[in-house]
């Protein structure tokens, strides 16, 4: 944010005497404020991605779900399901890899919006969330995000990803046929911003996949196989004292 126009406006409206004594002081003050603002913006960029992005996603998807809920008795079930898949879920999955490591409370909010949308599709307030997902042939949003991360790791391994994504991971140079020999799993110092990072979760997720899935011949085959993986039993990344997992 630029504060210099405000300083110039104050100088122009002040008297000549006040202008001569305070002009330089105002410019220095606004210059310091601008510098502090830039430093704060740099330090909070990652927090904005974790907190602001899920909130905006929830608002947009919740508004569309509310409209569908009001019109649920006027639209056929098949048409409502198409609306959910092509108008609501794209909002819930937009840039999902970026804010995947958000707080657990934000993750639950996103899942509740999808549950609310599916209940409006089938006009069902009794069935569980898992039963609604089976009827709609949809995965949970958490599973969908893990699928996208696994697809990204396949692209990195086979040279299909851009350099700015490839540079996040370190390819292993060992010649032994180990289970997790494709990527080096980095060590982390803090749980919140070390374990909950793409550079750590990507190699861990890739190492836990079956070899037949990791050795798929093409990206299309890999996408078909990864949809059949049960990620709930594959990963257990919740941490006891992590504020992201317990908030």
Separation of alpha carbons 59 and 153, rounded Å: 30
Q: Measure the CA–CA gap between 155 and 149, rounded to whole angstroms.
A: 10
The per-residue pLDDT for range 23-53, each reduced to its tens digit, is 455 455 545 545 544 544 444 444 444 445 5
Q: Is 238 left (phi over 0), alpha (psi -120 to 50) or beta?
A: beta
Provide the 3-class DSSP secondary structure of residue 183: strand
- Contact (CB, 8 A) for 61 and 112: no
Q: What is the pLDDT of residues 59-117, one digit of tens each?
A: 888 888 988 999 889 999 999 999 999 999 998 888 888 878 877 888 888 899 999 99
Give pTM, 2 decimals: 0.71
CA–CA dist 90, 136 (Å, integer): 16
C-alpha–C-alpha distance, residues 246 and 171, integer Å: 32
């Amino acid at each position: 944010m630029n504060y210099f126009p405000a300083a110039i406006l104050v100088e122009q409206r002040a008297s000549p005497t006040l202008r001569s004594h305070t002009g330089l002081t105002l410019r220095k003050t606004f210059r310091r404020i601008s510098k502090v603002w830039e430093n704060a913006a740099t330090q909070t960029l990652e927090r904005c991605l974790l907190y602001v992005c899920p909130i905006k996603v929830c608002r947009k998807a919740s508004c569309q779900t509310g409209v569908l809920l009001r019109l649920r008795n006027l639209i056929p079930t098949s048409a409502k399901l198409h609306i959910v898949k092509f108008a609501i879920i794209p909002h819930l999955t937009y840039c999902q890899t970026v804010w995947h490591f958000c707080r657990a409370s934000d993750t639950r909010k996103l899942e509740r919006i999808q549950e609310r949308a599916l209940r409006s599709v089938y006009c069902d307030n009794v069935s569980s969330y898992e039963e609604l997902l089976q009827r709609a042939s949809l995965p949970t949003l958490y599973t969908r995000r893990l699928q996208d991360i696994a697809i990204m790791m396949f692209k990195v391994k086979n040279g299909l990803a851009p350099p700015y994504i490839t540079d996040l991971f370190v390819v292993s140079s060992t010649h032994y046929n180990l289970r997790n020999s494709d990527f080096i799993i980095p060590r982390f110092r803090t749980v919140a911003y070390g374990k909950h990072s793409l550079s750590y979760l990507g190699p861990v997720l890739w190492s836990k996949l079956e070899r037949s899935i990791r050795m798929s011949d093409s990206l299309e085959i890999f996408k078909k196989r990864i949809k059949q993986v049960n990620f709930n039993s594959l990963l257990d990344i919740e941490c006891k004292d992590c504020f992201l997992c317990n908030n």
